[in-house]
Amino acid sequence: PRAPVDPDLSACHAEPIRVPGAIQPHGRLLVLDPSARHPVARSDNWTAPALEAALARLHSGTAATLAPGAAPVSLGVWGFGQVQERWDVSAHRTERHLLVEFEPAFPTDGNDAPIYSLTRVFLPRLQGADSINGLAQLAATEMKRLSGFGRCLVYRFDEAGHGQVLAEDTDPGYDSYAGHHFPADDIPQQARALYVLNHFRQIADAHYSPVPLRIDDRSLAPADIDLSQAQLRSVSPAHLEYMRNMGTLASMSVSIVIEGRLWGLISCHDHAPRFIGVSTRLACEHLGQLLALQIQSKQATSQVTERLALRQHTLDIVAHLADSDGTLSLLAEVPTLLHFAQASGAAVVRDEDVWSVGDVPPDGAIKDLANWVAGLGVEVFHSHQLAQDYAPARALPDMPAGVLAVSISQVHRHVILWFRPEIVKTVTWAGNPRKNTLAADGRIHPRRSFESWQESIRGTSAPWSAAEVAVAGELRQALIGIVLRRAEEFAEVAH
């Protein structure tokens, strides 16, 4: 689906979310030079004795061996003097600094730590799922059980970056978003880039007041402190408003990263503020990784299966061409031509001749399209929204929305085309995506309602899969071979 972008949301993409100069108030942060000897900044919520105790312990040299960019390492649970507070302490390096985060610690779970049940119970269950939606459902349910959030959803991004909810598990009293779409602009580009690097974030209370960083080193500004990997990083005010508008006071999300790309997210919501401790967080991150691996392997398997089936079609097509001449006009009589890529119509064009089968536009329109495809200079052309890519299609009511085409010859206009009809889709958005507003102060406010909002999407067909496009290229090679052989035979006869 194409979500309308209105008003201009470019400001969302420009917000420097890695360097907000503040943290969320449920924890504390210390920033030191890489040798861990000199503090350079701290969150503005330390008591003097706690700060002194923390620095003394860090100076004893615990964390000086970390590599920049690596994931945070745990320094264990620390208590400070008389105060009965206990903190889960972790450290990581940025290019310039050592960051030490202090998060509220919960009693440890020992052998009952949530992470163990994932491998013992959940992974075998995942392995038994028969589809990606099945995997997503298991993950939503397990994530809800692990985290205790009121609603957990698994959603997947399409090529345009819009998310669709594949599965959810909710407590009573939570709206359902199953099947809903969320427009790409809900999560701007720089946030997606960050979520590929850092797979976990939580926002404990959408009403929180950020705690600013206080700088000890006068040569630094708060924005010089890179919080990309910090769990406590303060998040965008626009996003906090979004959460509040949705009635979500706490959120947590885990990236689903496949082959270096953000495939989707597991997103959890609660109507009340909520914070989960380190051992549950690690389990949630692990769940995200297990899910990503299983999705990746399902996708790989189904691509192989699809390719094999398509290849069988191409073999059938080629086998039927034994008696064909160099025009390949016989193709239009081969029933498998239509089965290839589940087309609803197909055509062979050579110079002024058109042979077609199934649902096709008038010959003249086919010839014009073939001409245009031949002129593109590509071996395989495909579109599932032809009117977007080929302007003349807009004026032709009979034009199909989907076209896959291969160009056989540079000398002749010689093109094979497959067509797919328009499918009018009804997309259910979580709230009208056009309802973001630009305030007088230049700030963008997310939409206020997330109630189902339906839109008809016209002009698109079912998309051509990567396997269909790839195998069309293989078929093209085979057809070129046949055409060349016919040309040679013809040359011999002529001698």
Interface residue list for ligand BLA (CB under 6 A): 9, 12, 15, 17, 153, 163, 177, 182, 185-188, 191, 201, 203, 235-236, 238-239, 242, 251, 253, 265, 267, 269, 436, 444, 446
Return the C-alpha torsion angle 194, 129, 148, 107, nearest 10: -80
Residue 384 · residue 423 · CB < 8 Å: no
* Identity of the residue, 87 or 177, whose beta carbon is nearer to ligand BLA in the bound complex: 177
CB of 135 to ligand BLA, least distance (A): 18
> Whose CA is closest to 355, among 333, 325, 323, 381?
333
* Identity of the residue, 186 or 468, whose beta carbon is nearer to ligand BLA in the bound complex: 186
* Identity of the residue, 246 or 386, whose beta carbon is nearer to ligand BLA in the bound complex: 246
> Whose CA is closest to 347, among 321, 365, 323, 325?
365
Closest chain position to ligand BLA (CB): 12
Residues 423, 400: Cα–Cα separation, whole Å: 10
Residues 55, 39: Cα–Cα separation, whole Å: 8
Residues 468, 152: Cα–Cα separation, whole Å: 34
Three-state SS across 36-52?
A: CCCEEEEECCCCHHHHH
* Identity of the residue, 143 or 346, whose beta carbon is nearer to ligand BLA in the bound complex: 143
CB of 179 to ligand BLA, least distance (A): 12
User: Tokens 């939580």 identify what position?
Assistant: 202
Give the SS3 label for residue 393. Answer: helix
CB of 467 to ligand BLA, least distance (A): 29
Sort residue 481 into left (φ over 0), alpha (ψ -120 to 50) or beta: alpha
CB of 287 to ligand BLA, least distance (A): 15
Residue 235 · residue 20 · CB < 8 Å: yes
* Identity of the residue, 269 or 350, whose beta carbon is nearer to ligand BLA in the bound complex: 269
- The alpha helices in 120-198, defined as continuous H runs, are 123-127, 132-147, 189-197
DSSP 441: T
CB contact set of 395 (below 8 Å; sequence gap of 6+): none
Residues 309, 254: Cα–Cα separation, whole Å: 35
CB of 27 to ligand BLA, least distance (A): 16
Q: How many CB atoms lie within 10 A of CB 475?
A: 22
Return the C-alpha torsion angle 261, 263, 268, 273, nearest 10: 30
* Identity of the residue, 231 or 407, whose beta carbon is nearer to ligand BLA in the bound complex: 231
> Whose CA is closest to 276, among 250, 294, 302, 298?
250
Residues 408, 378: Cα–Cα separation, whole Å: 10
* Identity of the residue, 114 or 431, whose beta carbon is nearer to ligand BLA in the bound complex: 431
Bridge partners (DSSP) of residue 417 are 347, 405
Q: How many residues does the chain have?
A: 495
* Identity of the residue, 265 or 370, whose beta carbon is nearer to ligand BLA in the bound complex: 265
* Identity of the residue, 177 or 418, whose beta carbon is nearer to ligand BLA in the bound complex: 177
Tokens of 313: 């079609």
* Identity of the residue, 101 or 468, whose beta carbon is nearer to ligand BLA in the bound complex: 101
* Identity of the residue, 256 or 331, whose beta carbon is nearer to ligand BLA in the bound complex: 256
> Whose CA is closest to 461, among 345, 362, 335, 308?
345
